[in-house]
Chain A
């Protein structure tokens, strides 16, 4: 599975690549775990941290719907790519004489509805030990969530997202 290679370790050692990197394979080194005598018999050598991924997915979804500046994935570059790859006229950038406008997407909440969501979060109470006290993590002035732990994100994904956005977003989404 792994190629033999003499990688000189060190941050200053420069980029060393095996031939065909990025085309036929993506190996950058021979992992040191192969030195363990039993490693080749293991079926699952490396696993992904699902809860960490869930946290990132949650943050991307939430920040996009709430249109958090700098965090949303619905940015200018994405809109330019939409024009290239998709057939979604309503999502493309509108060029006015001197400026370029990004129209609000259907899955993004407007300011007043966002405030509704944050106020609702502010008043939330959970059973003991279910999650951390999310109402304390809400900053209604900046319209942001701060200090969400990965377990809170899990609870949010499982139970709160359908409750929060079912009535606020259009049916198709």
Chain B
């Protein structure tokens, strides 16, 4: 293996300064007798020095990258030196990603990383954070704390489009509802009424009427948005949207990426749009898939201090021996950790579970209609939180009226693409709790479904004699003569024997 060549692609970042990483071929090079060479000892010493000088890690100890600890333990530097000299470095640790280096596979990300790390180095206490929760909401959504905005001009340069929108929103949030009003701002009112609207199913017309009335009783020159449309366009820069992707009514293909311009299905030839009725109407697709991007929502979890602190719970909770309180105590989780050191070393990386099921939105007795919401749960959060409605992420809604069946793969395409991208390159995220940027990566741990959906997702059919996904092909079921269903009754002796 050409170690020297491999090391050159890694670049070391620390607080805005770039330092091209030195040659690290010494890390895995031993003398023929198995003895440590002199350059290895020097290298280890250099490794310890570089960490202790650069970082204030020494108080709580440093991560030990030896073959046994694998970056999971925080130890004193002398102990780490000892471990490295006796056991050697863990496998594939040429980039010291757990010690302040960023794992950068390509060079296109460099500029981004440098700019935003420097903004992160500005640490500020946010004093008046509790004053206006709706203002905090804006801050949270735009990934920065108040201090950073005011005193770090770099942000303005970096996030041009974002920053412009953000400052607009900030001005809105600060502006009092009318001159002399002390407790309400323009944004806080809109946000509160939006909540009421969605909680009680208020219609748009009702909303407009109430606001018309409210404007008439408020003092002259108030800044209340006149109707729902105006309020909605004010809230839009917060970034709570979704994508609509047209889909063939027979679930053959998505009109997505390279096929976005097509007007007929490649497989069945079904037209994409409904025939025009009337003049000047826009084209209406037969079926639309609604896809909710997960990256911005996951990033937002790190932008609020209240949620960011819980995003490492899966590692920090105290496991009682032998009692499984969370999937992270289980074997599958540990196996995944041991297979992917790069991933598990960063505790903030997100782990997801996926589930889906068909449901009829038109009550039980209406016309049969089966739309399939696909839902993601976040396993980083403590069990009490991850099942709350606000942390269960709706990822997409697959429209009806019939179930997609095994063609669900067609619909899952955007999700799989995003997950693959989030695994391989990750997304640069600002962690408000630790005041630093990091590359967040995401893994899908497993899916949880009921039998029919299980068959659709996994590809192992849930019908017939081989329906059991656990026994798979190693079972001989029979079919009932009159009932017509597979049954395992005659097999009961074979289960008893084992």
- Given contacts A25-B466, A36-B444, whether A9 and B253 have CB atoms under 8 Å apart is yes
Partner of A26, one of B339, B409, B448, B472: B472
Which residues 1-22 of A have a CB within 8 angstroms of B?
Answer: 2, 7-13, 21-22
Min distance, Cβ B19 to any Cβ of chain A, angstroms: 30
CA distance A36 to B480 in the complex (A): 40
* Contact between B480 and A26, CB atoms less than 8 A apart: no
Contacts of A37 in B (CB 8 A): 420, 423-424
Interface residue range, chain A = 35 or more
Residue of B nearest to A76 (CB): B482
Contacts of A32 in B (CB 8 A): 409, 412-413, 416
Residue of A nearest to B265 (CB): A10
* Contact between A46 and B454, CB atoms less than 8 A apart: yes
* Contact between A46 and B250, CB atoms less than 8 A apart: no
B1-17 interface mask toward A, CB cutoff 8 Å, 1 = contact, 0 = none?
Answer: 00000000000000000
Partner of A48, one of B265, B443, B449, B459: B449
9-residue interface stretch from A60-68, A77-85, A114-122, A128-136: A77-85
Does B219 sit within 8 A of A, measured CB to CB?
Answer: no
Contacts of B482 in A (CB 8 A): 77-78, 80-81, 84
Min distance, Cβ A7 to any Cβ of chain B, angstroms: 7
Contacts of B481 in A (CB 8 A): 80-81, 84
Residue of A nearest to B335 (CB): A43
Contacts of B406 in A (CB 8 A): 7, 9, 28-29
Residue of B nearest to A16 (CB): B406
Does B235 sit within 8 A of A, measured CB to CB?
Answer: no
Contacts of A126 in B (CB 8 A): none
Does B464 sit within 8 A of A, measured CB to CB?
Answer: yes
Contacts of A29 in B (CB 8 A): 406, 409, 459
Contacts of A46 in B (CB 8 A): 446-449, 454, 457-458, 469
Min distance, Cβ B173 to any Cβ of chain A, angstroms: 37
Residue of B nearest to A37 (CB): B423
Which residues 35-54 of A have a CB within 8 angstroms of B?
Answer: 35-39, 41-49, 52-53
Residue of B nearest to A35 (CB): B416
CA distance A37 to B343 in the complex (A): 13
Does B267 sit within 8 A of A, measured CB to CB?
Answer: yes
Does A27 sit within 8 A of B, measured CB to CB?
Answer: yes
Does B181 sit within 8 A of A, measured CB to CB?
Answer: no
Which residues 385-416 of B have a CB within 8 angstroms of A?
Answer: 402, 404-407, 409-410, 412-413, 416
Does A87 sit within 8 A of B, measured CB to CB?
Answer: no
CA distance A27 to B406 in the complex (A): 11
Residue of B nearest to A85 (CB): B489
* Contact between B250 and A10, CB atoms less than 8 A apart: yes
Min distance, Cβ A142 to any Cβ of chain B, angstroms: 14
Contacts of A11 in B (CB 8 A): 250-252, 402, 404-405, 407
CA distance A11 to B405 in the complex (A): 8
Min distance, Cβ A91 to any Cβ of chain B, angstroms: 14
* Contact between B472 and A38, CB atoms less than 8 A apart: no
* Contact between A10 and B252, CB atoms less than 8 A apart: yes
* Contact between A41 and B339, CB atoms less than 8 A apart: yes
Does B445 sit within 8 A of A, measured CB to CB?
Answer: yes
Residue of B nearest to A2 (CB): B459
- Given contacts A22-B464, A36-B416, whether A31 and B458 have CB atoms under 8 Å apart is yes
Does A30 sit within 8 A of B, measured CB to CB?
Answer: yes
Does B131 sit within 8 A of A, measured CB to CB?
Answer: no
CA distance A42 to B336 in the complex (A): 6
Min distance, Cβ B272 to any Cβ of chain A, angstroms: 14
Does A24 sit within 8 A of B, measured CB to CB?
Answer: yes
CA distance A7 to B407 in the complex (A): 9
Contacts of B157 in A (CB 8 A): none
* Contact between A49 and B355, CB atoms less than 8 A apart: yes
* Contact between A44 and B461, CB atoms less than 8 A apart: no
Min distance, Cβ A49 to any Cβ of chain B, angstroms: 4
* Contact between B409 and A25, CB atoms less than 8 A apart: no
Does B167 sit within 8 A of A, measured CB to CB?
Answer: no
Partner of B450, one of A42, A43, A49: A49
Partner of A10, one of B251, B446, B465, B469: B251
Min distance, Cβ B399 to any Cβ of chain A, angstroms: 13
* Contact between B457 and A9, CB atoms less than 8 A apart: no
* Contact between B420 and A45, CB atoms less than 8 A apart: no
Residue of A nearest to B448 (CB): A47
Residue of B nearest to A50 (CB): B448
Contacts of B457 in A (CB 8 A): 31, 33, 46
Does B483 sit within 8 A of A, measured CB to CB?
Answer: yes
- Given contacts A9-B253, A36-B420, whether A48 and B454 have CB atoms under 8 Å apart is yes
Residue of B nearest to A13 (CB): B267
CA distance A84 to B482 in the complex (A): 10
* Contact between A10 and B473, CB atoms less than 8 A apart: no
Contacts of A38 in B (CB 8 A): 336, 339-340, 343, 423, 443
- Given contacts A11-B405, A26-B464, whether A31 and B267 have CB atoms under 8 Å apart is no
Contacts of B270 in A (CB 8 A): 12
CA distance A81 to B446 in the complex (A): 39
Residue of A nearest to B343 (CB): A38
A-B contact pairs, 18 of them (CB 8 A): A9-B252, A9-B253, A26-B461, A29-B409, A32-B409, A35-B416, A36-B419, A37-B420, A38-B423, A39-B444, A42-B336, A42-B445, A43-B336, A47-B448, A49-B448, A53-B451, A80-B482, A81-B482
B interface residues with partner A (beta carbon < 8 Å):
248, 250-253, 265, 267-268, 270, 331-332, 335-336, 339-340, 343, 355, 357, 402, 404-407, 409-410, 412-413, 416, 419-420, 423-424, 443-451, 454-455, 457-461, 463-467, 469, 472-473, 480-484, 489-490
A9-B251, A11-B404, A26-B461 given. 10 additional CB < 8 A pairs? A2-B459, A9-B253, A9-B406, A13-B267, A26-B472, A28-B460, A30-B459, A37-B423, A42-B336, A77-B482
